[in-house]
Amino acid sequence: MLKIPKRKVILMVFMVVAMLILVPFGDSQEVYRTYRNPETGMPVSPAIGSVETSPFHVKKATYAIIIHFAKRLPTQEIACMIGETARPTGIWGCNGEQLLQADWTVRDQNKLVVAQGTFHQRGMQCVFLKGFILKYIGYFKADRVGTYTLDVKFTKDGSPLNVCDPQLIVMRVGGHDYMD
C-alpha cells in the first residue's frame, strides 16, 4: 500500500479547495458580465453626434452613466483619449488631446428632463480592470420608480476609440444593488 505523507495530503486538500473557490469566478471580465446587470446597455460610437438608449426601468436609487471600453489599444493611449490623466502611481504623460467629450440628458416616460450633465473635464472616475476600462461620464438620481431614457451627445470626434468596442451602460450604484 502506498503511504502518502500527511503534509502532502494537507497540501493537496488545500489546493483542491482553493481551485473550487477560485475557478468559478474566472477573470475579472467574466465576473463583471456574470454579476453585473446594467439597466441598459448598447454599442455606441463616440463620434460627433447623439445617441438615445432604449427605455429602461429604474428603482428609487442613484445610477452611473458609464462607457465600457475593451482594451484593444495600449492602456496609456486609451487613458489619454478618454481624459484619464492622473493615477495614484503618477501621471500618464498624455501628449494628445482628450477625445471623449459628451453632454447627457435623462428623461422620464413623459419626456421631462430628470437630470443632465456634461462630461468635458479630465479626471472623472475611471476603473481599469483586466481586459476592459469603465469610464464614468455622469450620475443621476431616480427619485421614483419609472421608465427613463438617456440621450448622450458626443461633442468631440472620439471615433478613434471605436476600435475599443465602446458600450454605453447605465448601472445602479451601490454595493449590493448590482447583485439582483
Identify the structural domains of the chain with CATH numbers, from first to last.
29-172 (2.60.120.790)
* CA–CA distance, 85 with 61 (Å, rounded to integer): 30
Mean pLDDT by groups of 10 residues along the chain of 180 residues? 64 50 40 57 94 93 91 89 64 73 91 83 70 89 91 94 95 57
Give 85-135 as a DSSP string. Answer: -EETTEE----S-----EEEEEEETT--EEEEEEE-STT--EEEETTEEEE
Percent of the chain with pLDDT over 90: 33
This prediction has a pTM of: 0.72
5-27 pLDDT, tens digit each: 776 656 555 554 444 444 433 33
pLDDT of residue 156: 92
